[in-house]
Structure 1
Amino acid sequence: MSSELIQALHEIERERGIPKSALIDAIKTALNTAYKKNFGTAQNVSVQFNEETGEVKVFSQKTIVENVKDYRLEISLEEARELYPNCKLGDMVYVEATPSNFGRIAAQTAKQVVIQKLREAERSIIYEEFLEREGEIVTGIIERIENKTLFIGLGRTEGIMLPPDQMPTEKYELGQRVKAYIYEVKNSPKGPNIFVSRTHPYFLRRLFELEVPEIYDGIVEIKSIAREAGFRSKIAVYSLDDKVDAVGSCVGPKGLRVQNVVNELNGEKIDIIKYSSDPAEYIANALSPARVISVSVNKAEKWARVIVPDNQLSLAIGKEGQNVRLAAKLTSFKIDIKSESQIDKESEGNDGED
């Protein structure tokens, strides 16, 4: 240990922003632990670290007695007065007890502490950086695949993509470049955990923000998103400017904007719906591409009955109920769809009962 260590601590404080005092406190604590580990704990010892020179000494606390029975805990009056001329029997004094090889142990310990503190500082910086980026899209390279979980290189750290965050229609391979949405950043003893997703509804939102200037500028708003990742999504959009067509802005010239999003999602179908504050109109729009005859709404119970032409029933419901399921999720209404002929039969049945 030497003044070189002190100089190194000064440089770390200046370049990395880690307070020198915090490093010294950590070194002191580690030195005491290292001494007890290597030389036992029977003695009441204290390891002192000189903050100016970097010198390390070990002092043992001893009681002044007339007849020494345990040299580790006691000292004679004659020996004590060589160090403390005014001491007397019963006093407690500190006597240097630095082992001959403790300097090497101290140097190794200090080095380990500094390395650990640098790692902690680096982790803290990365955590703060990505915490600010929560809600953004990042691009990285798949570096590892463990138990179906993807670990994606993001520069100085990695993103974690759990199986539910992976598109069921995609196959992932090592070295593959992927875009994903940061939905959560957690701190842990081993460093920050950055969770990313390609299935999150807000991944779709951010992709449209990147493609549609009107959304990025706040002229067009995305009011709601319903998504079955990899298969089909619906987004409801609204324009704050009467001169701007919300749906047309998202579709883009010759469908280019929405097609770019579809390409990023490997063919996921996207229905862009015009939002309306009128629930009946909103629900009718949400069932697109099916044509709707009428919508009856119970606002209190968030329930709606929709009537469609007979030839539109299967389209309104969708394959395995997907279209109506997404429409219900988009609008937050329970939707009951009936065809015209079903309604006529129900009416005939009711007339017969009368």
Structure 2
Amino acid sequence: MARLGGDFMEPLQAIAREKGVSVETLLESLANALLAAYKRRPDSAEDAEVTIDPDSGDIQVWAQDLDEDGNVIREWDDTPTDFGRIAAQTAKQVMFQRIRDAERDLKYEEYAGREGDIVTGIVQQADSRYTLLNLGKVEALLPLQEQLPGERYGNGVRVKAYIVEVRRTNKGPQIVVSRSHPGLMKKLFELEVPEIASGVVEIKALSREPGIRSKIAVASNDPNVDPVGACVGPRGARVRMVMAELRNERIDIIPFSEEPAEFVARALQPAHVREVDLNDATGTAIVIVDASEQPLAIGKEGLNAKLAARLTGWRIDIGTGEEAAILDSVPIDEDEDQPEAGQGEE
């Protein structure tokens, strides 16, 4: 019989408590490592198991004879006389390795399944490829393609980010976060607007050009609550907090509508829309605006129309009233079954 001894078992138990790892887990890993050490001896039995008493630290190697079905038909104590020294050396190695493994597992479990959550990190390192954020116990990776255009991160700066993926690696969990994901804006509004957090106000749709401009459509489940006003906040305080976190990204907040034509018209705000005709077959919304409103409806480099199309799910064609009048004045080819052009007119 070999023995770890109380002078080893006590610190093992203390470390297990501190790191959140069970003593049984550590002892199981140690037993497996000692069995491997035993098997390397030239006089070892073909089948054996190692037992460790968790109270006394006593270690025994039980050699076994097995039948054809793998059942133990005979076993005997085959603990080597020098196994105490081997056990002590192996125990230290196994304990620290297993604790490192357990810590990695605990960190992974803490973040596994948290895709879609928002986290606050401190910038640790930034270069042309990615930025590392310190989340406390783990680091998060903010790739270049997930950053806001032109945003620069100085060491020690606190930023909020959206978890897009949690990967298990040999070095622990790798958490990939984003500052450009639409979900980040949604989570920021949940933090700033109690009515959204409680479910009274819902974000029905969201489209975003990261760092430049976004549109969100909101609706209220309470007729006494104005969804746009709730999101804007007193004197615009709530929406300004979100914009400040996103480096002053412009945000258009519009009331959602179940009526597609009305929703398209609202999505093109701040432009005033005169008329919307929907073509369900092509998924196209033909929008008529005054000539003076057309640049506003389209937006700089077409951004307003692009964001409205993403928000509503409709392909949007914008024309003016003058263009519509010209189209209406084009004569239609006649055939013998149609009435003559101008029939019935004075």
- Fold shared per TM-score above 0.5: yes
Is 2:290 aligned against 1:287?
A: no
* Distance in 1 separating the partners of 2:38 and 2:153: 51
Q: CA deviation at 1:56?
A: 5.0
Q: How does 1:1-354 map to 2 (within 5 A)?
A: 1-12=4-15, 16=19, 18-34=21-37, 44=45, 48-51=50-53, 53-56=56-59, 97-98=80-81, 100=82, 103-131=84-112, 133-145=114-126, 148-299=129-280, 301-351=282-332
Shift of 1:247: 1.2
Pairwise CA distance, 1:335: 1.1
How many residue pairs get aligned? The number is: 322
- When residues 125 and 172 of structure 1 are mapped into structure 2, their CA distance, relative to the original with a 3 A threshold, is same
Q: Distance in 2 between matches of 1:178 and 1:205?
A: 16
Structure 2 counterpart of 1:239, which letter?
S
Q: Which amino acid aligns with 1:33?
A: A
What is the CA-CA distance between 1:339 and the residue it aligns to? 1.6
Q: 1:316 to 1:223 in 2, by over 3 A?
A: same
TM-score, with structure 2 as normaliser: 0.81
Counterparts in 2 of 1:267 and 1:61: CA distance versus 1, 3 Å: closer
- 8 Å contact 1:143–1:174 — kept in the other structure? yes
Partner-residue secondary structure (3-state), 2:93: helix
Do the aligned partners of 1:235 and 1:270 also contact (CA within 8 Å) in 2?
yes
Label 1:130 to 1:43 Cα distance change in 2 as closer, same or farther (>3 A).
closer
Aligned-partner residue type, residue 30 of structure 1: A
2-structure distance, mates of 1:23, 1:105: 17
Structure number with bigger Rg: 1
Contact 1:31 1:47 in 2 (8 A): no
Q: Is the CA contact 2:32–2:50 (under 8 Å) kept in the aligned structure 1?
A: no
Judge which range, 271-280 or 27-36, deviates more: 27-36
**C-alpha distance 314-60 of structure 1, shift in aligned 2 (>3 A):** same
Deviates more, 1:26-35 or 1:221-230: 26-35
Instruction: Give unpaired runs (5+ residues) of structure 2.
Output: 66-73, 335-340, 342-346
CA distance in 2 between counterparts of 1:297 and 1:9 reads 72
User: Percent identity of the aligned residues?
Assistant: 45
Counterpart Cα distance in 2 of 1:95 and 1:208: 67
- Bigger mean CA deviation after superposition, 238-247 or 26-35: 26-35
Shift of 1:139: 1.5
Which ranges of structure 1 fall in alignment gaps of 5 or more residues? 63-90
Shift of 1:134: 4.1
**CA distance in 2: counterparts of 1:114 and 1:301, whole angstroms:** 65
| TM-score under structure 1 length normalisation | 0.80
Q: Deviations over 1:306-336 (max 9, x none)?
A: 1111111121111121111110110111111
- Secondary structure, counterpart of 1:192 in structure 2: strand
Preserved CA contact (<8 Å) 1:185 1:195: yes
